[in-house]
DNA sequence: ATACTATATTCGAAGGATCGAATATTCAAA
DNA sequence: TTTGAATATTCGATCCTTCGAATATAGTAT
């Protein structure tokens, strides 16, 4: 009785770390952009339409957590998703979103516009 | 050229939010404990061996992001995972961990013991 | 009503994440 | 070897998260 949970904490910390790496809209966008093959940092920056430094920082996070690998080619650095399982995870999340679309949208609105009552 | 990424940002924010909810070892432990069916908050607290308030706070996060549902029964509150897809996501993560065990352990060690220079 | 058990919420401190600005590095081309 | 392009890193401000302690709420039993 009171048998503690089985998996060692280090493993859970590992998983949490991966989720943490995915827990930002920009980093999700990066992974999704890389789902069809590698892209250079510059291409990512262009497609995301964000600050160079900021994208580079997010790439650093993904690199550190080893979700992406990079390959230097002359002036440029090409990024790719390291393991397709991560893409499968995102695909599952897409299904989750579709299934729970209704509640999800409500959730988004609550989070987004926090004014008491605007339109509608 | 320079065609921005397709998915609206709100969807990516939604996904990021879910990952954020999973981005903590305790919350992963909770979901894994709930994988086989509902448990009361008290049972979760006992199995986790953590502060009552802390577990309750983590449950609040999971509730807010709608990853779990709860059912009141007299004195107690029973929690359950709302959509089995989330359990599948964790299962995929388990596979990911097994596949990348080697690098994962190194990563854990690096993060854990950050001594300036022991071996080498 | 009072007391007890189960759970949730609030608070404040400490640490972690994110951003743009500025700067550094690296490679290639002139 | 200077210049320029592509990418990375550092810095500091601001915000978000997490924790335990304390407190609140809700249900049950006396």
User: What's the pLDDT tens digit per position in B60-87?
Assistant: 999 999 999 999 999 999 999 999 999 9
pLDDT average, residue stretch A24-41 = 97
Rounded Cα distance, A66 and B107, in Å: 9
Q: Which residues of A touch B14 (CB under 8 A)?
A: 97, 104, 107-108
Task: State what percent of residues in chain A have pLDDT above 70.
Answer: 78
Whole-number mean pLDDT of chain A? 85
Beta strands in chain B (DSSP E): 39-40, 68-73, 76-81
Strand D positions within 7 A of protein Cβ atoms:
4-10, 17-23, 26-28
**Cβ contact B4–A100 (<8 Å):** no
Rounded Cα distance, B110 and B120, in Å: 14
Q: How far is B101 from chain A (nearest CA, A)?
A: 10
Please state, as a whole number, how many other Cβ atoms lie within 10 Å of the Cβ of residue B74. 5
Rounded to whole angstroms, the maximal C-alpha distance in chain A is: 61
Q: How far is B17 from chain A (nearest CA, A)?
A: 6
The residue whose two tokens read 């009171």 is: A2
Domain boundary assignment for chain B: 11-112
**Cβ contact B23–A20 (<8 Å):** yes
The CATH fold of domain B11-112: Arc Repressor Mutant, subunit A (1.10.10)
**Cβ contact B14–A95 (<8 Å):** no
Indicate whether A106 pLDDT > 80: no
pLDDT of B1 reads 45
Q: Which residue has the higher pLDDT, A105 or A92?
A: A92
DSSP β-ladder status, B39-40 and B76-81: antiparallel
Residue A62 near residue A32 (C-beta atoms within 8 A):
no
Tell me which H or E stretch contains A77: strand A76-81
- Protein residue at shortest CA distance from C1' of D23: B53
pLDDT of A104 reads 64
- Closest CA in chain B for residue A26: B12
Which class is domain A9-82? mainly alpha
Q: How far is A51 from chain B (nearest CA, A)?
A: 14
What burial letters (b/e) apply to A59-72, b meaning 16+ CB within 10 Å?
Answer: bebbbebbbbebee
The integer distance in angstroms from the CA atom of A55 to the C1' atom of C15 is 24
């Amino acid at each position: 009785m009171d048998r503690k949970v089985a998996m060692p904490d280090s493993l859970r910390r590992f998983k949490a770390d991966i989720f943490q790496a995915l827990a930002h809209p920009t980093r999700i966008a990066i992974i999704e952009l890389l789902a069809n093959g590698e892209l250079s940092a510059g291409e990512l920056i262009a497609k995301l339409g964000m600050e160079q430094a900021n994208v580079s920082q997010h790439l650093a996070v993904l690199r550190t957590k080893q979700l992406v690998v990079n390959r230097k080619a002359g002036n440029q650095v090409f990024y790719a998703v390291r393991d397709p399982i991560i893409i499968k995870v995102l695909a599952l999340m897409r299904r989750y979103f579709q299934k729970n679309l209704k509640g999800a949208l409500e959730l988004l609105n609550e989070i987004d516009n926090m004014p008491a009552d605007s339109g509608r």
